[in-house]
Amino acid sequence: MKKDQLKKWLEPLETAWVGVATHKLRSSLTILGIVIGVGAVITLMSIGRGAEAQILTNIQSMGSNLVTIRPGAFTFGGVRGGTSETLTMEDAEAILRQVPYISAVAPSYSSNLQLVVGGKNTNSQVSGVTTDYMSINNMKIASGTLFSEQDYQRGTKVAVLGSSVAETLFGNANPIGQQMRMGTIIVHVIGVLESKGGTFNSPDDAILIPLTAMQQAVAQPLTPQGGRIVSNITLTVSDQSQTQNVIDDITSLLRSRHRLGPGADDDFRIMSTEEIASTLSQTMGTLTLLLGAIAAISLLVGGIGVMNIMLVSVLERTREIGIRKALGARERDIWIQFLIEAAFLTFAGGIIGIICGWVVSKIIDSIGVMTTLVTPDIVILAVSVSICIGLFFGFYPAWNASRLNPIEALRAE
Amino acid sequence: MIRLQDITKVYVMGRQELTVLRGVTLNIERGELVAIMGPSGSGKTTLLNLIGCLDKPTSGSYYLEGREVSLLSSGELAQVRAQKVGFVFQTFNLLPRLSALANVELGMRYAGGSDRSRALDALAKVGLSDRANHRPPELSGGEQQRVAIARALVKTPPLILADEPTGNLDSRSGEEIISVLTSLHAEQGITLIMITHDANIAHHCQRIIHLKDGEVVSEETI
């Protein structure tokens, strides 16, 4: 009895296999269409996932308890409203004094300055920072030293460079001890930062000098009230669970310091690393889906290929269908036979596609073009979509086959 | 076993109606060996298809083993075909990609599942044990028709229908096929209905039904 049950399931599979195996070239080309589709979905989505993971690591390396305050109201359309020069040194000092759970505050003032190194003349963004800036941003020195509290107090003209900036400016030469002209002042390079990689807010591109030295290079602008304007304020929260409270406290403090009425919009924007991370991973998730959707078009084309082949196959085997019907096959038997064939083609394509997609994404990863990450959900998605496509596009030809009139089918050549 | 009452069959082709059978009434007993003869276009094949439940009559009633089958759904008809009817066609209708044995096994496929040893038995009965693994294109016409007969009898149906089983064969192979069919009938008591043009073959049967223009014009018992 059990053996009979097994047979009942195995026989349609065997029939489908014979159908596939008797047309090897045609079946393999059909499978190839699905392989390309599934492979493309997996490769492209793994690129998206890889980028997502890399950005999250970058943010983590920035320090996960970081809060950044930038000037200007920010609306989600991406349009900044109001004046962009609202944060001051005095704000930063007030925050450190008045808001609890803050371990360090680092205001910075950035400006585009002309740099002259040897004969070379470039323009680059230079940031005037405090000594806390480096520790808050998790920056580590690779060679030389960071500037000291003393350097900061005295306004010593020294600079610490990001790794890629150092390479751009000095090539292979050791930049430590070298001189560079920065606007009106001349600074000595005393250190180079450890490379962190990544493209988002990368410290590799930073040129850091003491904020006090910066004030000698360019006149730091003042607010009408006489506050010294800064570009942004970065701070670390000592207790991560208090991040939201810290943000709320800073908001009310700054609102009162900036004399904003109850109805007025904030003239600054506060973001925590967590918030940035979640916004970015959301964006990257959308990107991954978009890449997947583009690849899914080729999967769709593959599915249409399956349907095409199944229609041809039904037409070509009309007589076989007639014979089977004469032997007592019900519509359901014929229907299942052709549906299994279509499902078999797409399933085989799906499996081979996974392997190909995985191999391609590993190759992309290993030659260092992009970071890729094949996650189980991508694989499950690709396979289930390919099987659904097989069943969907196999349904119509199979239904056509099952509806054939046995007498006419037997007469077919 | 078979009782046809006033069976008509009308095919509609576009706007034209083609009446193929006009009121056929016929009784065939269990174990009979019957020949159906008639000029082409007389409705022989249509009648055989109706008896074999491949088609439904336009009007009239058909009792197979006491069961009214002209009202059954296509799925139920398929089951009747699977259980009760074995077909032998003029053009053999074997699946060319399958071996002789696999073709015979296919005869049981929709009647409850294949059984290799029964398929080999059936091939032995038609004298083709040594050809079990050959494919139809590698067999002679007579051998192919014997495979087809083995396919029809492997599920031991009460009824075998043969539509000009010797029509595509030379006379020697034709005689072989007729002797295989008649001996199966004699040994197993299968009801056998066969269409033929050949009066010699018809005279191997117990009864000859003459059909003309969709009507039974005469019956002779031999």
CATH number at residue B157: 3.40.50.300
Q: Does residue B114 belong to the interface with chain A, where contact is any CB pair within 8 Å?
A: yes
Over residues B112-120, the mean pLDDT reads 86
Could you report how far apart the first and last alpha carbons of chain B are, in Å? 20
Q: How many helices (H) and strands (E) does chain A have?
A: 13, 12
The Cα of A337 is separated from the nearest Cα of chain B by a number of Å equal to 12
pLDDT tens-digit series, residues B194-218: 999 988 889 889 999 999 999 999 9
Distance, in Å, from the CA atom of B126 to the CA atom of B145, rounded to the nearest integer, reads: 10
Please count the CA atoms within 13 angstroms of the CA of A342 that sit on its side-chain side: 34
Q: What is the structure's pLDDT at A76?
A: 44
Contact yes or no for B116/B100 (Cβ under 8 A): no
The Cα of B76 is separated from the nearest Cα of chain A by a number of Å equal to 8
B58 confidence band (pLDDT: 50, 70, 90): very high
A327 to chain B: which residues are within 8 Å by CB?
81-82, 87, 106-107, 109-111, 151
Question: Treating both helix axes as pointing N-terminal to C-terminal, what angle do B141-153 and B100-109 enclose, rounded to 10 degrees?
Answer: 30
ipTM of the shown complex: 0.94
Q: What angle do CA A9, A10, A12 make, to 5 degrees?
A: 80
**A157's tokens:** 């003209």
B83 to chain A: which residues are within 8 Å by CB?
328
Residue B203 to residues B39, B200, B220, Cα–Cα distance (Å) = 17, 5, 10
Residue of A nearest to B154 (CA): A327
DSSP state of B19: E
A334 to chain B: which residues are within 8 Å by CB?
none
Contact yes or no for A62/A137 (Cβ under 8 A): yes
Distance, in Å, from the CA atom of A58 to the CA atom of A47, rounded to the nearest integer, reads: 16
Alpha helix segments (H runs only) across chain B: 44-51, 74-84, 100-109, 116-125, 141-153, 171-188, 199-202
Share of chain B above pLDDT 70, in %: 100
Kindly determine whether residue B93 and residue A331, on different chains, have CB atoms separated by under 8 Å. Answer: no
Distance, in Å, from the CA atom of A100 to the CA atom of A103, rounded to the nearest integer, reads: 9
pLDDT tens-digit series, residues B63-97: 999 899 988 999 999 999 999 999 999 999 999 98
Over residues B118-126, the mean pLDDT reads 92
Question: Treating both helix axes as pointing N-terminal to C-terminal, what angle do A24-62 and A273-316 enclose, rounded to 10 degrees?
Answer: 180
Contact yes or no for A14/A336 (Cβ under 8 A): no
Strand partners, B211: B216
**CB-CB: which of B49, B89, B111 is closest to A328?**
B111
Sign of CA dihedral B75, B63, B5, B159: positive
Q: What is the structure's pLDDT at A373?
A: 86
Domain count of the fold of chain B: 1
Amino acid at site B39: P
**A87's tokens:** 């944060």
Amino acid at site A335: W
Over residues B175-182, the mean pLDDT reads 91
Distance, in Å, from the CA atom of A331 to the CA atom of A400, rounded to the nearest integer, reads: 10
Residue A218 to residues A113, A126, A131, A133, B11, Cα–Cα distance (Å) = 9, 11, 19, 20, 99
Strand partners, B159: B85, B191
Task: For residue A180, report the phi and psi dihedrals to the nearest 5 degrees.
Answer: -145, 145
Amino acid at site A311: L
**CB-CB: which of B78, B97, B114 is closest to A325?**
B78
Residue of B nearest to A331 (CA): B75
Q: What is the structure's pLDDT at A379?
A: 86
Kindly determine whether residue B109 and residue A330, on different chains, have CB atoms separated by under 8 Å. Answer: no
Kindly determine whether residue A328 and residue B151, on different chains, have CB atoms separated by under 8 Å. Answer: no
Distance, in Å, from the CA atom of A14 to the CA atom of A2, rounded to the nearest integer, reads: 18
Kindly determine whether residue B110 and residue A324, on different chains, have CB atoms separated by under 8 Å. Answer: yes
Tell me which residue of B67, B61, B73, B54 sits closest to B26, measured CA to CA.
Answer: B61
| pLDDT of chain A, 413 residues: tens digit per residue | 456 667 777 777 888 888 888 888 989 998 999 999 999 989 988 988 888 888 877 777 766 688 888 887 544 445 544 456 788 888 888 888 888 888 889 898 888 888 888 778 888 888 899 888 888 887 888 888 888 888 888 888 899 988 888 888 888 888 888 888 888 888 889 999 888 765 556 778 888 999 888 888 777 777 777 788 888 898 888 887 888 888 889 888 988 888 888 877 888 888 888 787 788 888 888 888 888 888 888 888 888 888 898 899 889 889 999 999 999 999 999 998 899 888 888 888 999 999 999 999 999 888 877 788 888 888 888 888 888 888 888 899 999 899 998 988 988 87
Q: What is the structure's pLDDT at A32?
A: 92
Look-up: residue for tokens 């009202």? B71
pTM comes to 0.71
C-alpha B119 chain-centroid distance: 19
DSSP string, A243-288: HHHHHHHHHHHHHHHTT--TTSPPSEEEEEHHHHHHHHHHHHHHHH
Tell me which residue of A110, A115, A108, A121 sits closest to A187, measured CA to CA.
Answer: A115
Residue partners of A267: CB distance under 8 A and separation at least 6: A71, A72, A73, A82, A83, A86, A258, A260
Contact yes or no for B195/B52 (Cβ under 8 A): no
Q: What is the structure's pLDDT at A200?
A: 55
Kindly determine whether residue B113 and residue A8, on different chains, have CB atoms separated by under 8 Å. Answer: yes
DSSP string, B158-202: SEEEEESTTTTS-HHHHHHHHHHHHHHHHHH--EEEEE-S-HHHH
Any idea which of A180-189, A213-222, B53-62, B170-179 has the lowest mean pLDDT?
Answer: A213-222
The distance between the two most distant Cα atoms of chain A, rounded to a whole number of Å, is: 103
Burial environment of residue A279 by CB neighbours within 10 A (0 to 12, 13 to 18, 19 or more)? exposed
Residue B20 to residues A75, B43, B213, Cα–Cα distance (Å) = 81, 6, 7
Contact yes or no for B131/B143 (Cβ under 8 A): yes
Structural domain of residue B42, as residue ranges? 2-221
Q: What is the structure's pLDDT at A28?
A: 92
pLDDT tens-digit series, residues B127-160: 999 999 999 999 999 999 999 999 999 989 999 9
Tell me which residue of B146, B30, B21, B44 sits closest to B88, measured CA to CA.
Answer: B146
Q: Does residue B73 belong to the interface with chain A, where contact is any CB pair within 8 Å?
A: no
